[in-house]
Structure 1
């Protein structure tokens, strides 16, 4: 690994970094060309070479690395990472003691002091996600720190990068016992099948835990529910268990149907009584409008960016129009669960999309609940972009 590189911070960014902003961004650095090898330790300094902060160089779509310490002589070794992990584990002690939930995040990147890495827990198994070649250079120290800090059945990893900046999806068993997949985990008493050996997406998005519980406990009973971009049908399972008369799950991926059938079956739900449709959601909206289908409860949780043969979707450009299509097939006094994981905009702008969509559709609305990330997805106030999840329960009023 290369020697430490001193990065000259432009004057207008110095206060921001001294105040705790954790992301190394290109526009803040005068000598970006000095960065050569990912994983290099970097010291941020001002024009007079006065120390500001210390971190590492690792390219993600977000930036060029992360600040790890305000201490100039801090060593990023196993003991450093063990302290971070141990602190993070302690903050999740309530979740570890919850017998009804055995899948959650135990380390959330910069929210727990080390940007570029997350660690999730699945009933005795830990999954490390590496988001840059830079943080991956510290893998031996971090894996040893995790092994030393927790009791584990097995550890897996996902390298969410390659030389072209694309995600690598591979098994990458690390240590302990290999899992017999699927691993069955509980979330608020509901069973999920999880596969740590099938690429980056393992079967459930953990950041929606509280939203799923709220749908089951407060909104599902007696409803005809539509779940769009349904993935493995997690929202549909919770709705069915909450008393929905019927659920319809729509996703373009062929694997979504057998995965959704599996999740229903694990929870004793007759999947044949539900509709599981493999189709482009954008086309399904047109079909539903033609057939005059109406739903009492609609979950609209698209990826922040998606491409199909006929459509390109970007949340910051197209969410409003997608929401209008959902409004058209929602019953009066029905509820739309509008959700996005895009970090490109905040909650206020998202609510602006909602307002414009209802206005253009000719309906009034009422926001009845809203959610951001759950407690295990820790964030810091100095980096609000890290709190990417925005979920708004909206009632359609005629």
Structure 2
């Protein structure tokens, strides 16, 4: 079990990030803690995620050590057993207590990523408002976005926000939760971006992709950031089995010469297998593509290989043909 003195060297490796305008990051990853926990910093709040069972005294001691080492105001606890995704609806307050395990309550903080502010709610749920491992992918979007962008599985619209800041003319954010889309609008407002309601599309991503294809709407960049597992109106989604189908639908709304940015958060799927899935999906749509850019989680994730990010440039044939 780490104490404050053992955590400080890990924090020192990330000390440059706030100076670069990033105050939400992974301060300690499982590869550095024996698989027991991770610590995320968001402004002056910490999010301590546990992947091994600890007794209440151990939890409190670890939260205090994290808070003291990182100079935080509060540390919130997230318990993440293997079965967490199934227990989330019946044990939500146990998995993600709304009050801090250590320190003073910080129900909401504003944290920065590359100088861009985001609303973070450390005690709200297992997901606090931004997945910091995708920071390199969001930076890529900010640099590459132009024209029309479709941001699927938008969550709090981090990719959509970066696309707008990067100069995209139109950005459509799609998610099955009205709550997170409203949260995304708060993030837009922090950057003084105005967007019409029609830029925040509520509903099933698969249904929206089909609908947009029928309308012959095409986008210069389509962002795919699905969960690894989900149940929805379209059935059960498992990224390791179903990604090709998603790529097929995405290809149907990607403009000739446009890009598909495909993200996969699944440690069990190798880079080569992911590439084959996307390529098969494009082929099913009658498209071909060139894989030009590969990204992974940021440096603060200490070499983790769970996240794969592939940017595909599609052929100049008719979209969706």
Fold in common (TM above 0.5): yes
Hey, what does 2:63 align to over in structure 1?
143
Work out the CA distance in 2 between the residues paired with 1:82 and 1:176: 15
- Report if aligned partners of 1:368, 1:394 keep a CA contact under 8 Å in 2: yes
| Residue equivalent to 2:17 | 95
Q: CA deviation at 1:163?
A: 8.9
Q: Partner residue of 2:129?
A: 203
Q: 1:147 to 1:197 in 2, by over 3 A?
A: closer
Q: 1:281-300 to 2 correspondence within 5 Å?
A: 281-300=205-224
Q: What CA distance in whole angstroms lies between the structure 2 residues aligned with 1:314 and 1:115?
A: 24
1:172 paired to 2:99: yes
Q: What is the DSSP-based 3-state SS (H/G/I as helix, E as strand, rest coil) of the residue aligned with 2:101?
A: strand
Residue pair 1:158, 1:172 contacting (<8 A) in 2 also? no
- Trace 1:4-83 onto structure 2 (pairs within 5 A): 76=1, 80-83=2-5
1:104 corresponds in structure 2 to 25
- In structure 2, the CA distance between the partners of 1:136 and 1:96, relative to structure 1 (3 Å rule), is farther
8 Å contact from structure 1 (residues 370, 391) kept in 2: yes
Residue 388 of structure 1: aligned partner: 306
How many residue pairs get aligned? The number is: 309
Distance, in Å, in 2 between the alignment partners of 1:232 and 1:396 is 27
Give the structure, 1 or 2, with the largest relative contact order (CA under 8 Å, sep 6 or more).
Answer: 2
Task: State the shift of 1:134 in Å.
Answer: 4.2
Larger Rg belongs to: 1
- State the partner residue of 1:51: none
2:91 match: none
The 5-angstrom pairing of residues 155-170 of structure 1 reads 155-161=75-81, 166-167=87-88, 168-170=95-97
Corresponding residue SS for 1:323: helix
Range with greater deviation from structure 2 (295-304 or 142-151): 142-151
Q: Are 1:220 and 2:142 counterparts? A: no
Deviations 1:7-58 (A, max 9, x none): xxxxxxxxxxxxxxxxxxxxxxxxxxxxxxxxxxxxxxxxxxxxxxxxxxxx
> Quick one: structure 1 residues 192 and 147, their matched pair in 2 at CA, closer, same or farther if it must change by over 3 Å?
closer
C-alpha distance in 2, partners of 1:351/1:284?
24
* Partner SS state of residue 301, structure 2: coil
1:346 and 2:233 correspond: no
Spell out structure 1 runs of 4+ moving beyond 6 A: 162-165
Instruction: Specify whether residues 123 and 155 from structure 1 end up closer, same or farther in structure 2 by C-alpha distance, changes over 3 A only.
Output: same
Q: CA RMSD in A?
A: 2.0
Kept after mapping to 2: 8 A contact 1:158/1:171: no
> 1:83, CA displacement in angstroms?
4.6
1:290–1:135 Cα change, 3 Å: farther
**Could you list the runs of 5+ residues in structure 1 that have no partner in the other structure?**
1-75, 380-385
Q: Please state if 1:182 is matched with 2:108.
A: yes
Alignment partner of 1:121 is 2:55? no
SS at match of 1:390: strand
Cα deviations across residues 140-170 of structure 1 (Å, max 9, x unaligned)? 4423432442322222222234998734233
Given that 1:306 and 1:314 are in contact with CA atoms closer than 8 Å, whether structure 2 keeps it comes out as: yes
Q: Is the 8 A contact 2:45 2:74 kept in 1?
A: yes
